[in-house]
Amino acid sequence: MTNKIIDLEDEFAKSLLGMAAETPAPPFARYDQDGDCIEVLWANEGHFAQRLDKWLTIYIGRETDKVVGVHVKGIKRFWGEILKSCPGIVIEVEDERIPLGRLFTAKMLTLPDRKLARIYKEVRDKSEEHPFSVPAPVSCG
């Protein structure tokens, strides 16, 4: 089977590489509307992904072996599950957005697994160092 070759001189690649930042400045964070997910990267370090539960994937830095980022999927359902575990929980919303740290704090309250809760706490603490917010699901607050 012959592998298909990618042309790094085509319009897509040229446009993308032409936009690439010369001096990237982390943290990087983005909410993706198509995937209803967020990615936060605290360091410009190569990494691999490790899935912790159905919501949270952490990025482990190849040089430091530390958590350098996270990916959270299904933000709307993520909140729905917190509500199921903690009915009546209220979270403070700012301009229809929730600071990510608060979402992780709420999630920590629902976790019986202390090891997993510790990791959520670690990413919560990092999230509070560099505030980033996500669109608030309707049921919040």
Pairing relation of β-strands 67-72 and 28-32? unpaired
Q: Is the omega angle on the peptide bond into residue 27 within 30 degrees of 0, that is, cis?
A: yes
Smaller CB distance to other proteins: residue 93 or 111? 111
Residue 69 in tokens: 């980022």
Contact residues toward other proteins (CB under 8 A) are 1, 3-4, 6, 8, 12-13, 15-17, 19-24, 26, 28, 30, 32, 34-35, 37, 39, 41, 44-51, 53-54, 57, 59, 62, 71, 74
Question: Least distance to other proteins from the beta carbon of 48, Å?
Answer: 4
Question: Least distance to other proteins from the beta carbon of 23, Å?
Answer: 8
Smaller CB distance to other proteins: residue 12 or 125? 12
Smaller CB distance to other proteins: residue 16 or 90? 16
What kind and span of H or E run contains 54? none
Residue 48 in tokens: 């691999």
DSSP one-letter string for 64-96:
T-SEEEEEE--HHHHHHHHHHHSTT-----BTT
Question: Least distance to other proteins from the beta carbon of 92, Å?
Answer: 27
